[in-house]
Amino acid sequence: MKKISREEAREIQMCILDEIARICKENGLHYYIACGTLLGAVRHKGYIPWDDDMDIIVMRDDYDKLISLLKDKSVKKPEWLDVVDDTNEDYFCPFAKVTDNRTRVKMDRHKENGGLWVDVFPYDGLPSSMIFAKIYTSIAALIRVICLAMDTDFSSKTLSFWNLLYKRFFNAFTCVIGRKRFCRFVEWFHRRFDIKKSKYVTSLFFDTRVDTILDKEMLLPQAEFQFENRKYTGFANYDYVLSRAYGNYMQLPPEEKRITHDFDVWWKE
């Protein structure tokens, strides 16, 4: 298999997001570049120099519609575009990856071998009380640890003794109760509060810190952002989002905190 360079991988990821953006626009859905992708757009007008993935956020009601459209064979889209979520046999996370099925990725510590991807995270509703919202988000943080344990490549040489210990424990726990049964519980937990009626929202898988509980009305306005040689939509109130996630987000982090996903990607033969 031919290995894909970082520059080529980034172009593939942006092509995936181009298709997601097109489908959203054609169907009246709203997506927001988020996390490191939004930070990169604001601070670097594109990728963070050491970053290697793309993330978007979609409010739960639009998220369900988008995933349904991506899976619908009657919807016009490239043959190489696939969507992977926890309905797939060997995937256990409560968010979707939209992938290029012509490629193959191997990440350190992860056993999945799917294609190059764009992460699509749903924003879900939270309890109306901030105290209970914080409790709910804290429980979601533990659930995230369990989900990631199911995806661990235990042959990785970079796992510490502590990592191996707790990941093996949670992996065994989900094997006993049934992995897909646990996925259905996570899905129920994340959807417990109707986002249309919720004042507070967050990504219950990605933003599992209590300081990333956000006011939904502050998030709804959209703006267009330059990203490399493209333009994508994101949160108009980006300072509100980024300052809670990263603090002084315009300041570069120290080199030891410039973390990548550490993966290799190839074209399939």
Domain assignment present for 60: yes
Task: Tell me the mean pLDDT in the region 239-252.
Answer: 94
Per-residue model confidence as pLDDT tens digits over 1-16: 899 999 999 999 999 9
Least confident of 1-10, 154-163, 232-241: 154-163
Q: Is 110 exposed, middle or buried (0-12, 13-18, 19+ CB in 10 A)?
A: middle
Q: Which pLDDT score, from 0 to 100, does residue 61 have?
A: 96
Task: Check if the beta carbon of residue 190 is closer than 8 Å to that of residue 204.
Answer: yes
Per-residue model confidence as pLDDT tens digits over 55-85: 999 999 999 999 999 999 999 999 999 999 9
Q: Which pLDDT score, from 0 to 100, does residue 153 have?
A: 83
Domain assignment present for 246: yes
Q: Which pLDDT score, from 0 to 100, does residue 112 have?
A: 64
Q: Which pLDDT score, from 0 to 100, does residue 113 have?
A: 62
Look at residue 250 and tell me whether its pLDDT is greater than 70: yes
Per-residue model confidence as pLDDT tens digits over 181-213: 999 999 999 999 999 999 999 999 976 566 689
Look at residue 54 and tell me whether its pLDDT is greater than 80: yes
Look at residue 243 and tell me whether its pLDDT is greater than 90: yes
Interatomic CA distance for residues 126 and 193, integer angstroms: 6
Domain assignment present for 267: no
Domain assignment present for 264: no
Of 230, 227, 201, which is closest to residue 36 (Cα–Cα)?
Answer: 227
Q: Which pLDDT score, from 0 to 100, does residue 210 have?
A: 62
Q: What is the mean pLDDT of the chain?
A: 93
Look at residue 238 and tell me whether its pLDDT is greater than 70: yes
Domain assignment present for 82: yes
Q: Which pLDDT score, from 0 to 100, does residue 259 have?
A: 78
3-class secondary-structure state, position 116: strand
Q: Percentage of residues in the chain with pLDDT exceeding 90? A: 82
Look at residue 180 and tell me whether its pLDDT is greater than 90: yes
Overall number of domains in the chain: 1
Domain assignment present for 269: no
Look at residue 265 and tell me whether its pLDDT is greater than 80: yes
Q: What is the rounded (10 degree) CA torsion for 232, 238, 242, 243?
A: 170
Domain assignment present for 113: yes
Domain assignment present for 250: yes
Confidence of residue 159 (pLDDT cuts 50, 70, 90): confident
Give the residue numbers spanning the domain of 144: 2-257
Query: What pTM was estimated for this model as a whole?
Result: 0.93
